[in-house]
Structure 1
Amino acid sequence: MVLQIRDEHRVRTMRLDRPEALNAFNEALYDATARALREAADDPEVAVVLLTGNGRAFSAGTDLLEMHQIATDPDFQRGEFGFVGLVDALADFPKPLVVAVNGIGLGIGCTVLGFADLAYMSSEARLKCPFTSLGVAPEAASSYLLPRLVGRQEAAWVLLSAEWISAAEAQRIGLVRQVCSPDELMATARGDAETLARRPISSLTAVKRTMTEPLRHAIAEARARENAAFAALMGGPANLEALTAFGEGREPDFTGIPGE
C-alpha cells in the first residue's frame, strides 16, 4: 500500500505512504493518488479531500531513481495514470482540496499547492522546486499558477533558484494559508476541512467551479508548454548529470557541459 485513505465527517484523508522514500512519487503512487482523487470526486459521501504525507516528509517529488530508469530504459513499464494523470485529476477535482504539508515538499510536493484550495504547513517543513537543479523545466502548471499565487518575482525565485523555502517564507509569500506547530498541523487542517464539509456539496462545488473555471484554459496551455520543455530537456546532458550525481551522492556540476 502506498496511499492510506480514511473517511471521517465527510472528509477523505489521503496520506502518501512511502515514508522510506520520503513519499516520493513512483508510478504506483501516482496511480493510487490519481485514482483516489477520481473516486473522491464521484463519491457523494465525500465533501472535502485532505492530502498529507506519512512520516517526516510530505513528498520528495518524483522518485529520481525511477526517473533515471524511465530516461534510460525504453522498455520501462509506465503506470495507468502517471504524473500527467495525477495532474489531470488535480486540475479536474471539483471539491475543496486541503493540503497539509507535514514535512519536506519537493517538486510535485510543492507545486501541488497550486491546486490546493487551502494549504497548511508544519513550522518544521520546507519546500523546493528543484527543476533547474535537475536540468529540467517546471511542471503541473506551476509556471502559471505560482505567479498567480505569490506574484511574478517570488515565483521566479522559487522556480529559478531551486532553493529551499521555509514555512515562514511560504506563508509570507502566500503559498500556504497557515503555519502550525508539527503537533497541531493535522488538527488545524482537519478542523477547517470539517468546517467546509458541513456545507452542502452542491454549493462547495459551485463555489470552486466559479473560481477555477476561468483558469482552466490557461492551465492547459501552461501544461502544454511545460510538457514540451520538460520532454526536450529530460535525458539531455544537464538532466543526466543531475541524475547521475544524485545516484552517486554528490552535487551536480553543470559547468563542464557545453551551453550549460
Structure 2
Amino acid sequence: MTDHVKVEIDAGVMTLTLARPDKKNALSNAMYGVLADSLEQAESDPTVRVVVFQADGDSFSAGNDLQDFAAQATGAFEGERHVMRFLKNLAKATRPLVAAVQGQAVGVGTTMLLHCDLVFTSPDARLTTPFVNLALVPEAASSWLLPARIGHARAYAMFALGEAVSGETAAAWGIANACVPLDELRAKARAAADQLAKRPLGALTTTKSLMRDAEAISALMDKEGELFGQRLQTAEAREAFMAFAERRAPDFSKVG
C-alpha cells in the first residue's frame, strides 16, 4: 500500500518503522492502512509476540498529514479512511506495544504512545498535542488517557496551549519509561521487546487486559471521532487549514 512504513518480523518482534523522513513521518491515509493491517496481523500471527514502533529520520512523527486533513475539511477526500481502524487496533491490542521516540511527536505521534506499554524517548524528543491550534479536539482516547496519566492541568496545557513536553519530562511525568541517548534509543526499545518476547504471552495478555478497559477506550474513541469529524467541517477548521496552506497565523476572531 505504501513504502512509507517498513514491516519486519524477527525473533517474535514485529518492528513497524515510519519511513517518510522527508515529511517528518507525517502519517498519510496509506500509512495508517499499513499500520492497521500490521496490528491485525500481529494479533492473528502466533509468531508475533511484541510490536515495536520506531521512525527513520530526525522525528518520530509530525502527526496527521495536514493535506489529508485539509481535503477532509473541504470535502475533497475520497476513499476509505484508515486512521480510525488504526486507533481501534491500538485500543484492543493484546500484544505488548513498545515505542522508540525521537524528535517531533505531534498529535497522534504522541497520543498513540498512551496505548504503548513501554515507551523510550531521546533527549531531543518533543511531544505535542496541538489539536486546539487546528480548531480540533483530542483523539485516540487521549482526552481521558492523557489526564489520567499526567493530571488535568498538564494535559490541558498540552491540548489547549500546544505546550511541548521534552523527552526528559515525558519520562519524569510517566508518559515514557526512560529517556536515553539518541544513539541508544532503538537498541533500548529492542532490548525491552526481546525481554517481553521471552515472557509467557498468556500472562502478558491477561495482565494487559486487567490494566486497560479496551471497551471504554474504544467507546471514547468513537465519541472523539464523531466530534473530530464535526470540527473538521467548521469555519474555525477551515480558517486553520487555510492559514496553514498560506503560511500565516490563523485569525479565529473573524469566525468566532
Is TM more than 0.5 here? yes
Shift of 1:12: 1.1
Amino acid at match of 1:20: D
Within 5 Å, give how 1:62-211 maps onto structure 2: 62-74=64-76, 76-79=77-80, 82-211=82-211
Normalized against structure 1, the TM-score is what?
0.93
Is residue 22 of structure 2 the alignment partner of residue 20 of structure 1? yes
**1:103 Cα offset (Å):** 2.1
* Equivalent pair of 1:11/1:46 in contact (CA under 8 Å): yes
Aligned residue number for residue 12 of structure 2: 10
Match of 1:246 in 2: 244
Tell me if the contact between 1:144 and 1:218 (Cα under 8 Å) persists in the aligned partners. no
- Using the TM superposition, give the Cα deviation of residue 38 of structure 1 relative to its aligned residue in structure 2, in angstroms: 0.6
Give the superposition deviation at 1:90: 0.5
- Name the % identity: 36
1:248 shift after superposition: 1.5
Do 2:88 and 2:218's aligned partners in 1 also have CA atoms closer than 8 Å?
A: no
> Does structure 2 conserve the Cα–Cα contact (< 8 Å) formed by 1:10 and 1:197?
yes
Matched, 1:255 2:256: no
Say whether the 8 Å CA contact 1:128–1:162 is kept in structure 2.
yes
List runs of 5+ in structure 1 lacking aligned partners.
none
CA distance in 1, matches of 2:102, 2:248: 27
Q: Distance in 1 between matches of 2:247 and 2:148?
A: 35
Q: Is the 8 A contact 2:27 2:64 kept in 1?
A: yes
The aligned counterpart of 2:58 is 56
Q: Measure, in 2, the Cα distance between the counterparts of 1:102 and 1:124.
A: 6
Shift of 1:184: 0.7
| Residue in 2 that maps onto 1:221 | 219
**1:161-213 residue CA offsets vs partner (Å, 9 max, x unmatched):** 1122111221222111111111010111111111111112222212212222x
Residue in structure 1 matched with residue 42 of structure 2 by the alignment = 40
Shift of 1:137: 0.7
For the residue of structure 1 that corresponds to 2:52, the secondary structure is strand
Write the distance in 2 (CA, Å) between the matches of 1:31 and 1:172: 33
Deviation at 1:69, TM superposition (A): 1.3
Q: Which residue of structure 1 lines up, in the alignment, with residue 234 of structure 2?
A: 236
Asked if the contact 1:53/1:59 (under 8 Å) is kept, the reply is yes
What is the count of residue pairs matched by the alignment? 254
The CA deviation at 1:116 is 0.7
Report the residue type matching 1:9 in the other structure: A
Deviation at 1:9, TM superposition (A): 2.3
Q: Which amino acid aligns with 2:209?
A: R
Cα displacement (A) at 1:243: 0.7
Unmatched runs of 5 consecutive residues or more in structure 2: none
Amino acid corresponding to residue 107 of structure 2 in structure 1: G
| 8 Å Cα contact 1:233/1:239 also seen in 2 | yes
Runs of 4+ in 1 over 6 A off after TM superposition: none
Q: 1: CA distance between counterparts of 2:79 and 2:102?
A: 29
Displacement after TM superposition at 1:2 (Å) = 1.6
How far apart are 1:115 and its partner, in Å?
0.4
Could you tell me how far 1:27 is from its partner in structure 2? 0.8
Query: Match of 1:30, as an amino acid?
Result: Y
| Separation in structure 2 between the aligned mates of residue 102 and residue 168 of structure 1, nearest angstrom | 11
Give the deviation of 1:78 after TM superposition. 2.6
Aligned 8 A contact 1:11 1:49 in 2: yes
